[in-house]
Amino acid sequence: MRLSRYFLPVLKENPSEAQIVSHRLMLRAGMIRQQAAGIYSWLPLGYKVLKRIEQIVHEEQIRAGHIPLLMPTLQPADLWRESGRYDAYGAEMLRIKDRHERDMLYGPTNEEMITDIFRSHVGSYKDLPLTLYHIQWKFRDEVRPRFGVMRGREFLMKDGYNFDIDKPSALHAYNRHMVSYLRTYERMGLTAIPMRADSGPIGGDDTHEFLVLAQTGESEVFYDDRVTQLKLGDREVDYDNWDEVAGVCKEFTTLYARTDETHDAAKFAEIPEEHRKVGRGIEVGQIFFFGTKYSEPMGAVVVNDKGERVPVQMGSHGIGVSRLLGAIIEASHDEKGIIWPEGVTPFHAGIVNLKQGDGAADAACEALYKALAAAGLEALYDDRNERAGAKFATMDLIGLPWRITVGPRGLEKGVVELTSRRTGESEELAPEAAVARLVEIYAAHR
C-alpha cells in the first residue's frame, strides 16, 4: 500500500474523550471512529489488525479440531424463553420487534442457538465429541461502555461450544480450549494468565478467565509472579492426547492466580513474599464448563452406547476479538505510539522515502516494495511529499514493527536502514539483505 493512496486519518491532537492509552492511540492512528456510545466503525488500519487477530483465532481453533460455522446476530426471543434467560438477562439485552411484532434480540452470546442447531441434527454418541464455534458481532447494552473497543456495546467475539457424551470428555474439551487459547494469545505477543473465576450469568461448574496484566485493566488480580514466566513456545501439543493436554493446563494453573471474585487471602499468603503480586488485568477470554444447563431445558439429548437417552454435556468458550486490539496496545506501546507484535501487525514493514522525487530514492523504494510483496510481505510505503520527521512520526504512531528508511546518501553506499520499532535500533544493509532479514523474522511468526 502506498500511503499517498491509503485512507489513514491520523489525528494530530490527543482526543479528549479517551481515558486510556490504547483508546487514545487507536483514535490517533486512525483505526476506529465512534458512531454511537460503544459502537465503532473500523477504519482501514484498525480493520486490518482486527482481521489479523481473527485469522490467528481461526487457525488455533482449527488446529485444536474445532469447527467454524456462522450464526446470525439477530435471534428469535423464543429460543431464549426455552432456557429461561430471556427474562434473566435483563437490560443488557437489546430487544427488537420485527414488522410482525415478533420478539427478536441482537445476540449477546449464542448458547441457546447452538443448542438448537445441535438438537435438530445430532442424536447419537457416535457423532460426539463435537465443538462448533463462530466469530460474530455481539451486542450488550453495557451501562458504561468505555475505553474504546475494550468495553464496547457492539463487539466481535469468538464463541465456541463443545458437546460431549460425558463429563470426562467435556473436561477434555475444556482443557483443549485452555491450551488453544494460550497458543492464540502467545501468537499475538501477549501473556494472558488463566485465572480461576466466578461463573457469572452463564452459570456453571468450572471457569477460567484469561487476563493480560495492565494497570488500566478492569479486574483486580492476585498472583504469584512466576506465572508470568510460563510459555508454551513452539512445543507441539497433541490435542487428542487427554493426559498431555491436561498436563499443560496443570502447568499453567498450579501457581496462584485469581481475580478478586475468587481470591482466597489465606492461600495467597502462602506464596513467598517476593513473588506475591496484586495488580490489574484485562479479561481477553473466558472458558466455561456447565454440563447440562442448556441441554436439559432445551432437550438436546443423545443416545449413549447403552441405548439410553442422556442430555449432552456442554461448555462455552469466548475470546474478545475486538477487545484484544486494546489489550495488545495497552501491553505494547511507548510515548511515540503503538508497537505491534509481528503476529498481528497491519503491515509487515514501513518504507520511508527520505527524498521523494529523487530518482534513485524513488526507484529503490519501488524495488523494495515489489521485492517485499514477492516475498509475501506487505509494506506500507510512505511516498508522500513530507519531511522525514513527519514520516517517522506517522510510522512510530501506527506502530509497524519494522521500518526501512531509504535516502540518497545511503544509496550512494548501497545501503538502506532497517529499524526496529521496539528497540529503536537500526542496521545498515543492502536492500536485498533487508528484505531477507524481514523474511527471516516473519518466518518465525507464521
Ligand X SMILES: Nc1ncnc2c1ncn2[C@@H]1O[C@H](COP(=O)(O)OP(=O)(O)O)[C@@H](O)[C@H]1O
Which residues of the chain form contacts with ligand X (CB under 6 A)? 109, 140, 142, 151-152, 155, 157, 200, 283-286, 318, 320, 322-323
Instruction: For the CB of residue 138, give the shortest distance to Mg ion in the complex, in Å.
Output: 12
User: Whole-angstrom Cα distance, residue 153 to residue 139?
Assistant: 5
If the CB atoms of residues 109 and 345 are measured against Mg ion, the closer one turns out to be 109
Tell which residue, 258, 255, 194, has the closest CA to residue 224: 255
C-alpha cell at 370: 515489489
If the CB atoms of residues 114 and 368 are measured against Mg ion, the closer one turns out to be 114
User: Whole-angstrom Cα distance, residue 90 to residue 105?
Assistant: 12
**DSSP letters for 140-163:** ---SS-BTGGGB-SEEEEEEEEEE
CB 68 within 8 A of CB 131: no
If the CB atoms of residues 200 and 408 are measured against Mg ion, the closer one turns out to be 200
3-class secondary-structure state, position 254:
coil
Instruction: For the CB of residue 152, give the shortest distance to ligand X in the complex, in Å.
Output: 4
DSSP letter assigned to residue 151: B
If the CB atoms of residues 150 and 352 are measured against ligand X, the closer one turns out to be 150
Let me know how many helices (H) and strands (E) the chain has, helices first: 14, 23
Helix 44-63 with 167-187: angle, nearest 10 deg: 140
Q: Is the peptide bond preceding residue 129 cis, with omega within 30 degrees of 0? A: yes
Instruction: For the CB of residue 48, give the shortest distance to ligand X in the complex, in Å.
Output: 19
Return the one option of Mg ion, ligand X, none that residue 320 interacts with (CB less than 5 to 8 A, by type). Answer: ligand X
Residue nearest Mg ion, CB atom distance: 286
Residue nearest ligand X, CB atom distance: 320
C-alpha cell at 261: 471474585
Instruction: For the CB of residue 320, give the shortest distance to Mg ion in the complex, in Å.
Output: 8
Instruction: For the CB of residue 191, give the shortest distance to ligand X in the complex, in Å.
Output: 15
Q: Is 231 left (phi over 0), alpha (psi -120 to 50) or beta?
A: beta
Return the one option of Mg ion, ligand X, none that residue 207 interacts with (CB less than 5 to 8 A, by type). Answer: none
CB 312 within 8 A of CB 165: yes
Q: Is 300 left (phi over 0), alpha (psi -120 to 50) or beta?
A: beta
If the CB atoms of residues 64 and 377 are measured against ligand X, the closer one turns out to be 64
C-alpha cell at 303: 443416545
Instruction: For the CB of residue 380, give the shortest distance to ligand X in the complex, in Å.
Output: 27
CB 189 within 8 A of CB 342: yes
If the CB atoms of residues 172 and 323 are measured against ligand X, the closer one turns out to be 323
Return the one option of Mg ion, ligand X, none that residue 421 interacts with (CB less than 5 to 8 A, by type). Answer: none
CB 373 within 8 A of CB 351: no
Instruction: For the CB of residue 283, give the shortest distance to Mg ion in the complex, in Å.
Output: 5
In angstroms, the first-to-last Cα distance of the chain is 21
**DSSP letters for 200-229:** GGG--SEEEEEEEE-TT-SEEEEEEGGGGG
Return the one option of ligand X, Mg ion, none that residue 140 interacts with (CB less than 5 to 8 A, by type). Answer: ligand X
Tell which residue, 183, 416, 174, has the closest CA to residue 290: 174
Instruction: For the CB of residue 228, give the shortest distance to ligand X in the complex, in Å.
Output: 19
If the CB atoms of residues 321 and 338 are measured against Mg ion, the closer one turns out to be 321
Return the one option of Mg ion, ligand X, none that residue 155 interacts with (CB less than 5 to 8 A, by type). Answer: ligand X
List of residues contacting Mg ion (CB under 5 A): 286
Backbone angles phi, psi at 317, to 5 degrees: -145, 120
Return the one option of Mg ion, ligand X, none that residue 323 interacts with (CB less than 5 to 8 A, by type). Answer: ligand X
Return the one option of Mg ion, ligand X, none that residue 302 interacts with (CB less than 5 to 8 A, by type). Answer: none
C-alpha distances in Å from residue 436, one per residue of 196, 279, 327, 403? 44, 41, 31, 14
Return the one option of ligand X, Mg ion, none that residue 22 interacts with (CB less than 5 to 8 A, by type). Answer: none
If the CB atoms of residues 281 and 318 are measured against ligand X, the closer one turns out to be 318
Instruction: For the CB of residue 79, give the shortest distance to Mg ion in the complex, in Å.
Output: 22
If the CB atoms of residues 75 and 419 are measured against ligand X, the closer one turns out to be 75
If the CB atoms of residues 286 and 322 are measured against Mg ion, the closer one turns out to be 286
3-class secondary-structure state, position 276:
strand
Instruction: For the CB of residue 327, give the shortest distance to ligand X in the complex, in Å.
Output: 8
Return the one option of Mg ion, ligand X, none that residue 157 interacts with (CB less than 5 to 8 A, by type). Answer: ligand X
CB 219 within 8 A of CB 281: yes
Return the one option of Mg ion, ligand X, none that residue 253 interacts with (CB less than 5 to 8 A, by type). Answer: none
